[in-house]
Structure 1
Amino acid sequence: MTAQPVAEGQNTERYRQKRDAILAAAAQAINEQSAKGMTFADVARRVGLNTTSVTYYFRRKEDLAAAAFENTLDRLLDMIEVAAREPTPQARVARYLSLNMDRLARIERAEETPFAVLSDLRAMEEPILGTLMAGWQKVFRATRSLWGPPASRAHTDLYGARAHVLLENTFWLPMWLNRYEPDQYDRVEARLLDVLTHGIAAHGSAWAPAMLDLDQHRATSAEPGREAFLLAATRLINQLGYRGASVQRIASELNVTKGSFYHHLDAKDDLVTACYRRSFDTITGAQQLADAAGGSHWHRLSSAIATLLDIQFAERGPLLRTTALSSLPGDVRAAMVERSNRIARRYAGTIMDGVAEGSMRAIDALIAAQALMALQNAAFDMRKWAATMERPQAIALYASTILYGMFDDRLIP
Structure 2
Amino acid sequence: MAGSAAAEGGDQGTPRFRQKRDAILAAAAEAINEQSAKGMTFADVARRVGLNTTSVTYYFKRKEDLAAAAFEHTLDYLLVMLDTAMEASTPSERVRRYLALNMARLRRIEAGAERPLAVLSDLRAMEEPMKARLLSGWREVFRRTRALWGPPASRAHTDLYGARAHVLLENTFWLPAWLHRYELDQYDRVEARLFDVLAHGLAVPGAAWSPIPLDMAHEEREPGRAAFLLAATRLINELGYRGASVQRIASQLNVTKGSFYHHLDAKDELVIACYRRSFETVAAAQAHADEMGGTHWQRLSSAVATLLDIQFAERAPLLRTTALSGLPPQVRTAMVDRSNSIARRYAGTIMDGVAEGSMRAVDALIAAQALMALQNAAFDMRKWANTMPRERAVAMYASTLLYGMFADGRTGPA
Q: Fold conserved (TM > 0.5)?
A: yes
| 1:335, distance to aligned residue in structure 2 (A) | 1.6
Q: Which structure 2 residues correspond to residues 6-25 of structure 1 after superposition, within 5 A?
A: 6-7=6-7, 8=9, 9-25=11-27
Q: Residue type of the partner of 1:74?
A: D
Structure 1 counterpart of 2:308? 309
Structure 2's unaligned 5+ residue stretches are: none
| 1:204, distance to aligned residue in structure 2 (A) | 1.6
| 1:222, distance to aligned residue in structure 2 (A) | 2.7
| 1:195, distance to aligned residue in structure 2 (A) | 0.2
- What is the aligned counterpart of 1:121 among 118, 123, 148? 123
Partners of 2:3 and 2:61 within 8 A in 1: no
SS in 2 for 1:6: helix
- What is the aligned counterpart of 2:154 among 152, 162, 169? 152
| 1:336, distance to aligned residue in structure 2 (A) | 1.2
Q: Which structure 2 residues correspond to residues 234-253 of structure 1 after superposition, within 5 A?
A: 234-253=233-252
Q: Which structure 2 residues correspond to residues 160-239 of structure 1 after superposition, within 5 A?
A: 160-215=162-217, 218=218, 220-239=219-238
Q: Residue type of the partner of 1:273?
A: I
Structure 1 counterpart of 2:340? 341
Q: Residue type of the partner of 1:158?
A: L
Aligned residue pair count? 410
| 1:334, distance to aligned residue in structure 2 (A) | 1.7
| 1:331, distance to aligned residue in structure 2 (A) | 2.1
TM-score, length-scaled by structure 1: 0.98
Partners of 1:3 and 1:67 within 8 A in 2: no
Task: Measure, in 1, the Cα distance between the counterparts of 2:347 and 2:4.
Answer: 47
Q: Residue type of the partner of 1:309?
A: L
Structure 1's unaligned 5+ residue stretches are: none
SS in 2 for 1:214: coil
| 1:412, distance to aligned residue in structure 2 (A) | 5.9
| 1:223, distance to aligned residue in structure 2 (A) | 1.9
Structure 2 counterpart of 1:84? 86
TM-score, length-scaled by structure 2: 0.98
Partners of 1:154 and 1:412 within 8 A in 2: no
1:100 aligns with 2:99: no
Say which is worse superposed, 334-343 or 269-278, in terms of deviation.
334-343
Q: Which structure 2 residues correspond to residues 340-379 of structure 1 after superposition, within 5 A?
A: 340-379=339-378
Q: Residue type of the partner of 1:180?
A: Y
Structure 2 counterpart of 1:26? 28
| 1:128, distance to aligned residue in structure 2 (A) | 0.4
Structure 2 counterpart of 1:403? 402
Q: Residue type of the partner of 1:165?
A: V
Partners of 1:214 and 1:286 within 8 A in 2: yes
| 1:2, distance to aligned residue in structure 2 (A) | 4.5
Task: Measure, in 2, the Cα distance between the counterparts of 1:333 and 1:327.
Answer: 8
Task: Measure, in 2, the Cα distance between the counterparts of 1:93 and 1:396.
Answer: 21
Deviations 1:170-228 (A, max 9, x none): 0000000011000000000000000000000111211000111100xx3x333220110
| 1:4, distance to aligned residue in structure 2 (A) | 4.0
After superposing on structure 2, the runs of 4+ consecutive aligned residues of structure 1 that deviate more than 6 Å are none
Task: Measure, in 1, the Cα distance between the counterparts of 2:221 and 2:189.
Answer: 48
Cα distance change, pair 128–270 in 1 and its aligned pair in 2 (3 A): same
Task: Measure, in 2, the Cα distance between the counterparts of 1:333 and 1:28.
Answer: 16
Partners of 1:4 and 1:58 within 8 A in 2: yes
| 1:6, distance to aligned residue in structure 2 (A) | 3.3
1:256 aligns with 2:255: yes
Task: Measure, in 1, the Cα distance between the counterparts of 2:2 and 2:397.
Answer: 33
User: What is the root-mean-square deviation of aligned Cα atoms in Å?
Assistant: 1.0
Q: Residue type of the partner of 1:264?
A: H
Partners of 1:100 and 1:170 within 8 A in 2: yes
Partners of 1:2 and 1:66 within 8 A in 2: no
1:273 aligns with 2:272: yes
Q: Residue type of the partner of 2:31?
A: A
Task: Measure, in 2, the Cα distance between the counterparts of 1:412 and 1:359.
Answer: 17
Structure 1 counterpart of 2:324? 325
